[in-house]
C-alpha cells in the first residue's frame, strides 16, 4: 500500500478533499406478500402492481389473498360460529325442521353458497332471540 492510503476508515469529524459525497442509498422495502409469480420462483418481489420482476419478464402479475390478514380470521370465526349453530340446530330440532334444513342445504349449488346460507340462517336466529 502507498503512504497516502489510510488503513482505517476516516473518522466522521475529519474533513478531506478526496472524500466524494455519495448519494443516499435507498433501503429495500420489505413486502408482506409477494405476487404469485415471485412466490413460485422464490425471488424477491417489489410489491408494486405489476412488480419489477414480472414487468422485466413480461409475465402476468397478480397477488393472491393473504390468509394471515385480519379479514380472513374474522371470516373463519364467522364460519365456525355458523357451523356450531348448524350442529346445535340439527341436534335439538324436531325431525321436520331438521329434514327441511337438510333439504335446503342440499339444494344449494356450491359449498360457498352453503357457507352464505349457514351464516344468514345463524344471523336470523340470533336476531329472533
Give yes or no for residue 92 having a pLDDT over 90. Answer: no
Q: What is the pLDDT of residue 10?
A: 63
Instruction: Find the DSSP H helices in the chain.
Output: 36-41, 52-57, 70-92, 95-106, 111-128
Q: Which three cell numbers stand for residue 70?
A: 385480519
Q: pTM for the complete prediction?
A: 0.39
Could you check whether the bond before residue 50 is cis, i.e. omega within 30 degrees of 0?
yes
What does the chain come to in residues? 129
Percent of the chain scoring above 70 in pLDDT: 74
For residues 98-110, give the mean pLDDT: 84
Is the domain covering 32-64 a CATH 2.70.240.10 domain?
A: no
CA distances from 45 to 24, 38, 61 (A): 22, 6, 11
Cell numbers 409477494: residue? 34
Domain with CATH 4.10.240.10 in the chain: 32-64
Residues 8-64 pLDDT 10s: 666 665 555 556 777 777 766 666 788 999 999 999 999 888 999 999 999 999 888
Higher pLDDT, 8 or 112: 112
Amino acid at each position: 500500500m502507498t503512504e497516502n492510503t489510510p488503513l482505517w476508515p476516516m473518522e466522521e469529524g475529519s474533513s478531506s478533499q478526496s472524500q466524494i459525497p455519495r448519494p443516499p442509498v435507498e433501503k429495500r422495502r420489505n413486502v408482506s406478500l409477494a405476487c404469485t409469480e415471485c412466490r413460485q420462483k422464490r425471488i424477491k418481489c417489489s410489491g408494486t402492481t405489476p412488480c419489477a420482476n414480472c414487468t422485466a419478464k413480461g409475465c402476468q402479475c397478480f397477488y393472491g389473498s393473504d390468509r394471515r390478514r385480519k379479514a380472513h380470521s374474522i371470516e373463519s370465526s364467522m364460519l365456525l360460529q355458523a357451523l356450531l349453530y348448524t350442529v346445535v340446530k340439527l341436534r335439538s330440532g324436531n325431525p321436520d325442521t331438521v329434514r327441511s334444513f337438510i333439504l335446503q342445504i342440499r339444494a344449494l349449488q356450491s359449498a360457498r353458497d352453503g357457507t352464505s346460507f349457514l351464516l344468514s340462517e345463524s344471523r336470523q336466529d340470533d336476531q329472533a332471540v
